[in-house]
């Protein structure tokens, strides 16, 4: 009950519910993720960074996150120590590395190394934040994780808002602001602590005795993870392509902020999609919501590929907004299904390895979609995203059928 005592004593926990506290802390912590994106123009001016260099800085964060989540999961560290302690430590480390990127690095190579370290730190913020939610609200995990992912989605959209608003701050201060937010998030989780609904962690250095890979032998976990992997093929590639698709289609004509303003709306509306999905999961279940959202986003990708050049700009904008709302709404529901189906003493490790594999998939899909868009155009890039939802739906169904076959 230590988590409850800490929560009762912390001022942030008194003002907000545990899930709201974790969600805000997650927003603040994951603001580190895309802080370099909002500094692209400044980096081009001060470092001579090209578009490829900016992409390298983004890929470095993804690579660090994958390495960190694999380490947390395969070593059992995610379930060996208090989730709140891991979150706080990683938020502090990420804030320091992000500030060093702003004020110490002077080249793309140095910046990429520090962004890699930021990605490593984020591995202890995002999946561990999901574990914290499970520790406080196991009975409403789908709705609670929906709020968590909504905050991550807003953080993803934020660089586009900064560009649209024409903020005149020096890029170093914009990046530093993310570090200050991460420090605030660390303080909130330090005050809250762990929830009471997970098994006691194993003492000493022995950690969990079972391999996290054993979670994939559970049909329900395998089904949820397969759906999640199909979703990840589409999600980050879509977010990367949004401003390019908007510009190519002319959908931003007459929209305040132009391409950047509409891009912010398309990505940011995913937060509303997450929240709506979380509410619906209470009535229909996480599985139904996740599969519906995955099918809808795949359908939007196909519709865009077929008709973007024949539709008027406002219709294309509406289609992209619908796509943006659906493309991330399934993420928290698949994570909720995974958390509910894996062994309770492996929740942190299982979510971490699911994230690691999912984000490894994003590196492939982002690179492929960008190359296809450049060479073959928007229709081909959109078609490239369709197999993610299709394979995710098929894999989920196959894993569920395997479960029922064995039960029979």
At residue 264, φ and ψ (nearest 5 deg) are -60, -45
Give the list of residues 6+ apart from residue 310 with CB closer than 8 angstroms, or none. none
Which one is predicted more confidently, 207 or 324?
Answer: 324
* Total structural domains within the chain: 2
Q: Are residues 80 and 187 in the same domain?
A: yes
Can you tell me whether residue 154 is helix, strand or coil?
Answer: helix
Q: Are residues 250 and 179 in the same domain?
A: no
Q: Are residues 130 and 167 in the same domain?
A: yes
Quote the pTM value: 0.77
pLDDT at 78 over 80: no
Q: What is the pLDDT of residue 391?
A: 93
349 lies in which domain range?
210-408
Task: Count CB atoms within 10 A of the CB of residue 41.
Answer: 12
150 assigned to some structural domain: no
What tens digit of pLDDT does each residue of 126-172 get? Answer: 888 888 887 887 767 677 778 878 887 887 776 667 666 655 667 88
Q: Are residues 405 and 359 in the same domain?
A: yes
Average pLDDT, the chain: 83
Q: Are residues 172 and 67 in the same domain?
A: yes
Task: Count CB atoms within 10 A of the CB of residue 278.
Answer: 26
Packing angle, helices 286-307 and 219-249, rounded to 10: 30
Q: Are residues 171 and 245 in the same domain?
A: no
User: Count H helices, E strands: the chain?
Assistant: 19, 0
Question: The domain spanning residue 34 has which CATH number?
Answer: 1.20.1250.20
Round to whole Å and give the CA distance between 364 and 240. Answer: 12
DSSP symbol at 196 = S
pLDDT at 223 over 50: yes
144 assigned to some structural domain: no
pLDDT at 3 over 50: no
Q: Are residues 43 and 185 in the same domain?
A: yes
Token reading at 325: 């709302």
Packing angle, helices 83-103 and 108-122, rounded to 10: 170
What tens digit of pLDDT does each residue of 227-266 get? Answer: 999 999 999 889 888 888 988 888 888 787 788 788 889 9
8 A C-beta contact, residue 211 and residue 337 = no
8 A C-beta contact, residue 277 and residue 294 = no
What tens digit of pLDDT does each residue of 174-212 get? Answer: 788 889 989 999 999 999 988 887 665 554 444 444 566
Q: Are residues 332 and 215 in the same domain?
A: yes
146 assigned to some structural domain: no
Q: Are residues 185 and 259 in the same domain?
A: no
């Amino acid at each position: 009950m230590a988590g409850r005592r800490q929560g009762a004593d912390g001022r942030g926990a008194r003002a907000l519910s545990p899930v709201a506290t974790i969600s805000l802390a997650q927003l603040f912590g994951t603001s580190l993720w895309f802080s370099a994106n909002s500094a692209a123009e400044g980096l081009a001016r001060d470092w001579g960074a090209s578009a490829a260099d900016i992409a390298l800085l983004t890929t470095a964060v993804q690579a660090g996150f994958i390495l960190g989540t694999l380490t947390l999961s395969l070593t059992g560290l995610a379930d060996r120590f208090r989730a709140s302690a891991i979150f706080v430590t990683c938020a502090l480390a990420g804030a320091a590395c992000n500030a060093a990127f702003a004020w110490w690095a002077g080249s793309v190579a140095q910046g990429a190394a520090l962004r890699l370290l930021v990605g490593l730190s984020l591995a202890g913020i995002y999946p561990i934040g999901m574990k914290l939610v499970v520790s406080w609200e196991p009975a409403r995990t789908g709705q609670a994780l929906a709020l968590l992912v909504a905050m991550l989605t807003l953080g993803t959209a934020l660089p586009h808002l900064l560009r649209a608003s024409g903020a005149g701050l020096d890029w170093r201060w914009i990046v530093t602001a993310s570090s200050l937010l991460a420090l605030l998030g660390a303080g909130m989780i330090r005050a809250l602590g762990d929830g009471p609904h997970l098994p006691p962690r194993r003492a000493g250095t022995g950690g969990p005795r079972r391999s996290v890979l054993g979670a994939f032998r559970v049909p329900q976990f395998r089904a949820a993870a397969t759906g999640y992997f199909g979703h990840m093929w589409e999600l980050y590639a879509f977010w990367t392509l949004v401003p390019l698709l908007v510009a190519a289609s002319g959908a931003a004509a007459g929209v305040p902020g132009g391409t950047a303003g509409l891009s912010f709306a398309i990505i940011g509306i995913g937060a509303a999609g997450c929240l709506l999905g979380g509410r619906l999961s209470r009535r229909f279940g996480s599985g139904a919501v996740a599969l519906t959202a995955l099918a809808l986003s795949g359908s939007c990708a196909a519709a865009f590929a077929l008709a973007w050049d024949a539709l008027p700009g406002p219709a294309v904008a509406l289609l992209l907004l619908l796509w943006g709302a659906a493309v991330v709404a399934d993420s928290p529901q698949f994570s909720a299904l995974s958390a509910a189906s894996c062994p309770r003493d492996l929740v942190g490790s299982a979510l971490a390895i699911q994230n690691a594999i999912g984000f490894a998939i994003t590196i492939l899909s982002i690179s492929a979609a960008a190359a296809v868009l450049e060479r073959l155009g928007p229709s081909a890039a959109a078609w490239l995203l369709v197999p993610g939802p299709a394979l995710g739906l098929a894999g989920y169904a196959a894993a569920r059928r395997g479960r029922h076959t064995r039960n029979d």
